[in-house]
């Protein structure tokens, strides 16, 4: 489970360098006998080098004060926690020691996902505003593969030069950026709403900004808090945030299918489509036939019970025609009719 090849995980003879210990939060480890196993797990996560040296060993008749069964269960539990944290279903700060700087969200374009649904929903040659574009994966695909014009918006610039037609550095918690939305065909809000402190505020602003664009489409996605695994965890009294996933540590709002629909319907949007998205197994176990099989099974389960088995929610909406738009349309239509009337001499 650790993807390691140790011949012995429980040796009592260990030598640690001070520099290595300084790279892991070993002070958070248990006070029980499996603390040294937790250090090994931390070293594996941190990518530190460990070397085994065979030594002669003699087991005498000394008294052993370790409860072997309890120790074994604690070791298995520690490894399981680390594995669950890796796939985003659990979080324990002692195992939050992977190296590297801020990790941007990974692309999910090669299998059924919110990214895949978004690029399939956009018409080639469209103008797209990607709110919360992160690493620009979706925008770059739309630009290259569908010849779209894409402008990205995010609180931080992506690493390197943004592969889009434009980038606006802006924190969406402060509202929409100062840009006209009338010329855009699609507004993307993929896995960003749950990060906002006040999603209603930005949806209301979007509705106002699109009041003269009833044909524009909003593509939005979020995690499904009613997913079966989270329901089971709650049944067992567990509610654990993680480094990623539905209970990402940076998420401030959580949604079900019905509450996500209400967010848009109550603020002037017409829901055109709502889909359930399966677990991104390729991110957890690699893009292989096993992960593809799991996705296929998950899709069948979603078909049977969407709200229970959907890992994420994907929604397509468009703004209802505003009063200003209807009035403007009526005046324009009246002027056109007036110009076509043939008056008798």
Please tell me the predicted confidence (pLDDT) of residue 157: 82
Listed in sequence order, the residues at least 6 apart from 157 whose beta carbon sits closer than 8 Å to its beta carbon are: 167, 169
Starting at the earlier edge strand, list the strands of the sheet with 217-223: 166-169, 149-154, 127-131, 186-190, 217-223, 312-319, 269-277
Above 90 in pLDDT, residue 214? no
User: Which residues, at least 6 apart from 196, have a Cβ–Cβ distance to it below 8 Å?
Assistant: 172, 173, 202, 252, 253
Q: Is residue 103 part of a domain?
A: no
- Same domain for 185 and 70, yes or no, is no
Tokens of 113: 């996902």
Query: 41 and 126, same structural domain?
Result: no
Residues 118 and 89 in one domain: no
pLDDT digit string (tens) for 7-58?
888 877 889 999 999 999 999 999 998 898 999 999 999 999 999 888 887 7
Q: Are residues 155 and 233 in the same domain?
A: yes
pLDDT at 103: 53
| 142 and 199 fall within a common domain | yes
Give the pLDDT of residue 283.
Answer: 82
Residue 101, pLDDT > 60, answer no
CATH number of the CATH domain containing 224: 3.40.50.150
Final residue of a structural domain among 64, 95, 126: 95
Structure tokens at 183: 């010329």
| Domain encompassing residue 62 | 18-95
For the chain, how many structural domains are there in total? 2
134 assigned to some structural domain = yes
Are residues 159 and 234 located together in one domain of the fold?
Answer: yes
In the prediction, which pLDDT does 38 show?
93
CB 223 within 8 A of CB 255: yes
Task: With CA atoms as reference, report the closest residue to 270 among 224, 229, 227, 320.
Answer: 320
> Would you give the distance in Å from CA 31 to the centre of its chain?
34
Average pLDDT of the residues in 188-200: 93
124 with 84, same domain: the answer is no
Whether residues 84 and 167 share a domain: the answer is no
Residues 124 and 87 in one domain: no
Mean per-residue pLDDT, 172-193: 92
Q: Is the pLDDT of residue 99 over 90?
A: no
Nearest Cα residue to 64 out of 30, 33, 36: 33
Residues 86 and 119 in one domain: no
Coil, helix or strand at residue 5: coil
**pLDDT of 262 higher than 60:** yes
In a domain, 87, yes or no: yes
* Structure tokens given for 54: 């065979």
269 and 196 within one domain: yes
- Which of 36, 64, 95 represents a domain boundary (last residue)? 95
Question: Tokens 């324009």 correspond to what residue?
Answer: 332
DSSP code for 75: H
Domain assignment of residue 228, yes or no: yes
In a domain, 179, yes or no: yes
pLDDT (average), residues 296-312? 96
The answer to the question of residue 336 being in a domain is no
**CB of 154 closer than 8 Å to CB of 133:** yes
Rounded Cα distance between 280 and 285, Å, is: 9
Are 60 and 141 part of one and the same domain?
A: no
Asked if the structure places residue 178 within a domain, the reply is: yes
> Per the domain annotation, does 6 fall within a domain?
no
pTM: 0.79
Give the chain's length.
Answer: 345
């Amino acid at each position: 489970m650790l993807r390691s090849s140790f011949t012995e995980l429980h040796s009592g003879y260990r030598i640690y360098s001070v520099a290595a210990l300084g790279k892991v939060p070993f002070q958070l480890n248990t006070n029980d006998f499996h603390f040294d196993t937790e250090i090994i797990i931390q070293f594996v996560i941190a990518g530190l080098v460990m070397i085994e040296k065979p030594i002669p060993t003699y087991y005498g008749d000394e008294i052993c004060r370790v409860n072997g069964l309890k120790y074994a269960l604690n070791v298995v539990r520690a490894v399981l926690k680390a594995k669950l944290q890796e796939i985003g279903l659990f979080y324990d700060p002692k195992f939050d020691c992977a190296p590297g700087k801020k990790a941007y969200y990974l692309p999910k374009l090669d299998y059924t996902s919110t990214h895949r649904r978004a690029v399939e929903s956009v018409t080639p040659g469209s103008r797209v505003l990607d709110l919360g574009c992160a690493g620009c994966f979706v925008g770059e695909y739309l630009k290259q593969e569908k010849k779209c014009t894409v402008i990205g918006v995010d609180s931080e610039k992506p690493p390197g030069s943004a592969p889009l037609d434009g980038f606006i550095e802006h924190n969406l918690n402060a509202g929409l950026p100062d840009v006209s939305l009338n010329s855009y065909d699609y507004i993307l809000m993929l896995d960003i709403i749950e990060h906002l402190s006040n999603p209603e505020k930005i949806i209301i602003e979007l509705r106002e900004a699109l009041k003269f664009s009833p044909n524009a489409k909003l593509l939005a996605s979020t995690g499904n808090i009613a997913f079966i695994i989270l329901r089971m965890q709650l049944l067992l009294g567990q509610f654990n945030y993680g480094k990623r996933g539905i209970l990402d540590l940076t998420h401030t709002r959580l949604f079900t299918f019905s509450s996500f629909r209400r967010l848009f319907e109550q603020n002037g949007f017409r829901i055109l489509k709502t889909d359930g998205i399966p677990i991104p197994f390729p991110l957890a176990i690699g893009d292989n036939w096993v992960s593809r099989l799991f996705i296929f099974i998950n899709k069948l389960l979603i078909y049977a019970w969407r709200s229970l088995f959907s890992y994420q929610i994907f929604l397509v909406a468009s703004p209802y025609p505003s009063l200003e738009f209807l009035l403007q349309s009526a005046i324009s239509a009246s002027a056109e009719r007036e110009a076509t009337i043939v008056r008798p001499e």
